[in-house]
Structure 1
Amino acid sequence: MEYKGRWRIFDTSRLKRYSLFERPSKVSLKDLVDLEKVKVPNLSEKLDNTIKKVAEKILEAKEKNKKILIISGAHIIKNGLGTFLIWLIKNGLVDHIAVNGAFIIHDLELALVGKTSESIPNALGEGKFGFAKETADIINEAINEGNKRKLGYGETIGMLLSDELTLPSFGKLEFPHKEISVVYNSYKNNVPLTVHIAIGADIVHMHPSFSGEAAGGCSARDFLILAETVSHLKEGVCILIGSQVIGVENFLKAVSMAANVGSPPSKLFTAVFDMKPVESVRPVEIGDERNPVYYFRDIKSVVVRIPKAFEGEGVYVQGDHRETLIALWEYLHRSIG
């Protein structure tokens, strides 16, 4: 990256890199969840009723032709539940998926080599964390090309996985496992998948091939795509999977933009699926400012502030995604057959 300022910058040409194909990874294709074979968990009555309500709201939105937005971090890919998102896509139960940069990294690695997720504690001490060259150079070169074409980030990677984008440095890339890619399936089924990055937050940003200008340009276009979806979210549903702070902040600003032009997400139903406990030491509600958990961004904005501002409703679903999302899938699957 070119720099002409007064300060010294890190020389990325000094970095030592290695092949993704040789890197030990913690997650492989065998870890993907087969929804048809998975055992439905036994949950508490209160939690089960909340998840049932989320399912009912999704089905109601579909019946009324209202929008369903999912915001997610990367853990859903690493815990094998990308299959759940693909099932939603194929069954018309999601209209937009908004993710962070890590989601793209893990999804693409699975599609390319059938494995992902390195051991950070082991790699970090050796100065190796994040330096798989194929992951970075493929994504960065694709985004450079996407920015030249004035495309969004998610759309660009979707085109790459669908053989609609050729990278000069790699020629025709093969993604032998692309059928298990959420990005590929969203692009194939014409469901917008947008990527909302923070510069310096993803491993691909550490490499010489990274262009902040290109990544920022593509992600900025994705923000506008998200804002357009949010402007049509009236009586719709928004589900946040994980705390995903960047996604929460993008969603909040997109909501404000929609309201500013007279298209607020009125009567919106929101649900956050995460693991942290929300009980307070005081007998107060989750949205009470005396409750410390209120100050988590996902609770404050997605569960409380946004629904409250527009006569909607927000709920929090606490638990392991491999239980709560499986329970949600079971309710949806049972209803649509």
Structure 2
Amino acid sequence: MPVKPLDFSGLKTYSLFERPSKVSVEDLARPLSPGLSFKEFLACLPKELAAKDLLAVARAMAHAIKNKRPVIWGFGAHVIKVGLTPIIIDLMRRGFISAVMVNGACMVHDSELAMAGITSEDVAQALKDGSFGAAKETGELVNRAAKEGCKQGLGLALGKLLAEGDYPYKDLSLFASAYKLGVPVTVHVAIGTDIVHMHPTADGAAIGEASFYDFKVFCRLVADLEGGVFFLAGSAVLLPEVFLKALTVVRNLGYKVEKFTTVNFDFIRHYRPLTNVVNRPTMTGGKGYHITGHHEILIPLLAGALLEELSHEA
């Protein structure tokens, strides 16, 4: 026998006007027009999802800055490769970034930009004959920093070398600028992941010792993160794991780090940033945000929103 269709005549309904709803006309985007100021542009964004979260992140950062709480930025080398160093340096100069934590590849690309004004070789081409990663000057400088960083950390050692050296583009160097401004930079290295590890000047013991020193410095920074913000961009595995370990270290030692904001920017939704940065650390009362998109667009938007937020609060 054929199955009879279900009779919907008895289905209960309610009034649309009495129903709780997530979207209202006040939340909709506004049309754009030529000549808008950045503040006016932000006001045109819809008050939904990532647009809403972007402005919430800017407010959280502004709140932390006004209350003299830390705003720590962590990111992988892609952030440098897509040209965002000048924006990050500007935020450091304004006092809006308390500290920076990066992976080893950031040393490579930042050093090359400072020395030669160029970086990011064609890996596919260079890999064919084994010349990939064999730039002499890059290996020598970064490995020298590792050897000199055993007692002061990788970030500080490289920043000092770049700031005090005769490099034509050092004003665009994240490390050199941080050194001159007194902003801590910690470098977290996985042996074998960076081109400088295969150079003749590489010293595994020095790299490990200097990076371990930086890990302990980073733990000291995280110990003071209550009421602050930890921002991460472009690291799917290494930096989320470092952050999680640092957080458990400081909590184990008795530091109160419970209510703070975490943020992750990346192209796709990776497991570790979502779990180890956005979700788990904020379960004690903080707030985590994840925004998916291109760094070269999102980070300038965030920087602009932060400047507007602080200007408004001032």
Pairwise TM-score range, normalised by the shorter structure: 0.7 to 0.9
2:224 equivalent to 1:232 = yes
Q: Distance in 2 between matches of 1:127 and 1:303?
A: 39
Q: Is it true that 1:303 corresponds to 2:295 in the alignment?
A: no
Aligned match for 2:177, one of 185, 189, 196: 185
Q: Does 1:327 align with 2:304?
A: no
Query: Aligned residue for 2:195?
Result: 203
SS at match of 1:315: strand
Q: Does 1:130 align with 2:133?
A: yes
Q: Distance in 1 between matches of 2:45 and 2:266?
A: 15
TM-aligned CA deviation for residue 49 of structure 1: 1.1
Aligned AA (2:93): K
| Aligned-partner Cα distance in 2 for 1:125–1:326 | 36
Output the CA distance in 2 between the equivalents of 1:66 and 1:317.
23
* Equivalent AA in structure 2 for residue 162 of structure 1: A
Please report how far the alpha carbon of residue 244 of structure 1 lies from its aligned counterpart in structure 2 after TM superposition.
4.1
Aligned residue in 2 for 1:284: none
Runs of 4+ with >3 A deviation: 40-45
Letter in 1 for 2:145: A
In the alignment, is residue 50 of structure 1 matched against residue 53 of structure 2? yes
CA displacement 1:167-221 (0-9 Å, x = unmatched): xxxxxx4211000011111111111000000011100000111001111111110
Q: Do structure 1's residue 315 and structure 2's residue 307 form an aligned pair?
A: no
Distance across 1 between alignment mates of 2:144 and 2:69:
36
Unaligned runs of 5+ in 2: 1-36
1:252 corresponds to which letter in structure 2?
L
In 1: Cα distance, 2:129 partner to 2:249 partner: 45
Q: Partners in 1 of 2:275 and 2:67 — Cα distance? A: 28
Alignment-derived partner of residue 157 in structure 1 = 158
d(CA) in 2 for partners of 1:329, 1:110:
22
Gapped regions of structure 1 (runs ≥ 5): 1-35, 164-172, 279-292
1:219 to 211, 218, 221: 211
192-201 or 84-93: which moved more?
A: 84-93
1:236–1:265 Cα contact (<8 Å) kept: no
Find the aligned partners of 1:221 and 1:186 in 2 and give their Cα distance.
18
What amino acid is the match of 1:201?
Answer: T
- 2:115, 2:167 within 8 Å by CA — same for their partners in 1? yes
| 1:75 and 2:78 correspond | yes
Deviation (angstroms), 1:43: 6.5
Aligned residue identity for 1:157: L
C-alpha offsets along residues 291-327 of structure 1, whole Å, 9 cap, x if unaligned?
Answer: xx6xx1111110111111x211101011111221121
Letter in 2 for 1:262: G
CA–CA distance in structure 2, aligned partners of residues 81 and 139 of structure 1? 21
**Structure 1 CA distance, aligned partners of 2:67 and 2:50?**
26
Residues matched between the structures, number: 271
CA distance in 2, matches of 1:145, 1:57: 37
CA-based RMSD: 1.8
Aligned to 1:21: none
TM-score by length of 1: 0.77
Q: CA deviation at 1:336?
A: 3.5
Quote the Cα distance in structure 1 between the aligned partners of 2:145 and 2:127. 27
Distance, in Å, in 2 between the alignment partners of 1:215 and 1:335 is: 40
**How many angstroms apart in 1 are the aligned matches of 2:145 and 2:53?**
41
Secondary structure of the structure 1 residue equivalent to 2:225: coil
| CA distance 1:91–1:300, shift in 2 (3 Å) | same
Distance 1:333 1:104 in 2: 28
Among all aligned residue pairs of Structure 1 and Structure 2, give the percentage whose two residues are the same amino acid.
Answer: 38
Secondary structure in 2 aligned to 1:270? strand
